Amino acid sequence: MPRSRRSPRTTGRSALPPRPAAGVAAVVAAALLAGTAGCDRAPAERPRAERTSPSPTPTPGWDRDPASLAAVGDSITRSFNACGVLTDCPDSSWATGTDARVNSLARRLLGPSTLSTRTWNLAKSGSRMAELPGQMSRAAAHRPDLVTVLTGANDACRSSVAAMTPVAEYRASFEESLRRLRDGSPRSRVYVASVPDLRRLWATGWENPMGRQIWKLGLCPSMLGGAEDTGASAERRRTEVYERVVAYNEALREVCERDRLCRYDGGAVFDYRFTGDQLSPYDWFHPSLDGQARLAEIAYRRITAP
């Protein structure tokens, strides 16, 4: 499979301010060294046989107009580093945020006036799939019409390839998560976003000097460690991480298909070509405000499809 060694051109769509200067990068680096950052992220090239992303088929009992929404997952759903350095920014979350610049899924579905009383962001920065059952139990207690799920990047973003979550464990935790939701809220609909393509993230940022410096401090070492190394060993490591993410997404699809009130995104988040404008200017890893807006668009299209 050919591998990109050049950063894609940015689209210029972001409304963010210019990238921080070296002084800000130094502040970020110092904080990251203190060990306060979580590890999970965004988006690379699926094997040809995996690249089909069909429109969702009609789902029996699917509600395209929910009145309440709970979000579970990791730091992407907490909008980590989108509004400041090393901080959750739930107001700009793609799922439940109130920030009009993002126009979150909840704003689109519920309107801005009910977000404080009809949405619950239960995601946790740094969490992995093993923590999803607990989050889903808390979501079920609210009896939401819709639950959004986006988690798995942290299962692949480990200290090494060997430390990544095995696919069987990932699948079992997701199955348990849906069981807990059905036990407490059997009529809730579930939207499942695919895990972003981490290799595309590397391809987007590996030539950016500030991004490389921050990545060296330990952001997703299984994929981003030795970002400038394009040798055969580094390429094999990145391919292993990529293939694990593909396997996670296949597990999500298969488990979701067995639940008539669950809709998988068809690989839309994995396939989305995030650019530098859609990555946080503070870590070149998490989605920026513009990236969060793109996630909201993808989810809205999938959830409201016939």
The answer to whether the CB of 267 falls within 8 A of the CB of 53 is yes
The topology (CATH level 3) of 22-30+62-304 is: Rossmann fold (3.40.50)
What one-character DSSP code corresponds to residue 99? -
The answer to whether the CB of 42 falls within 8 A of the CB of 286 is yes
pLDDT of 198 over the 90 cut: yes
Tally of residues, the chain: 306
Q: What is the C-alpha radius of gyration for the chain, rounded to an integer number of angstroms?
A: 18
Neighbours of 253 (CB within 10 A): 16
Residue 180 CA to residue 42 CA, distance in Å, equals 27
Neighbours of 168 (CB within 10 A): 10
The residues spanned by each domain of the chain are: 22-30+62-304
Q: What is the pLDDT of residues 211-260, one digit of tens each?
A: 889 999 899 999 999 999 999 999 999 999 999 999 999 999 999 999 99
Sign of the C-alpha dihedral computed for residues 6, 47, 13 and 191 taken in this order: negative
Given its phi and psi angles, is residue 105 left (phi above 0), alpha (psi -120 to 50 degrees) or beta?
A: alpha
Q: What is the pLDDT of residues 146-185, one digit of tens each?
A: 999 999 999 999 999 999 999 999 999 999 999 999 999 9
Provide the pLDDT confidence category of residue 59 given band limits of 50, 70 and 90: low
Mean pLDDT confidence for 58-87: 92
Residue 111 CA to residue 261 CA, distance in Å, equals 23
For the chain, first and last CA: distance in Å? 35
- Cβ neighbours for 55, distance < 8 A, ≥ 6 positions apart: 266, 305
Provide the pLDDT confidence category of residue 56 given band limits of 50, 70 and 90: low
Neighbours of 229 (CB within 10 A): 13
Put the strands of the sheet holding 146-150 in their side by side order: 119-121, 69-73, 146-150, 189-192, 262-264
89, two tokens: 């920014």
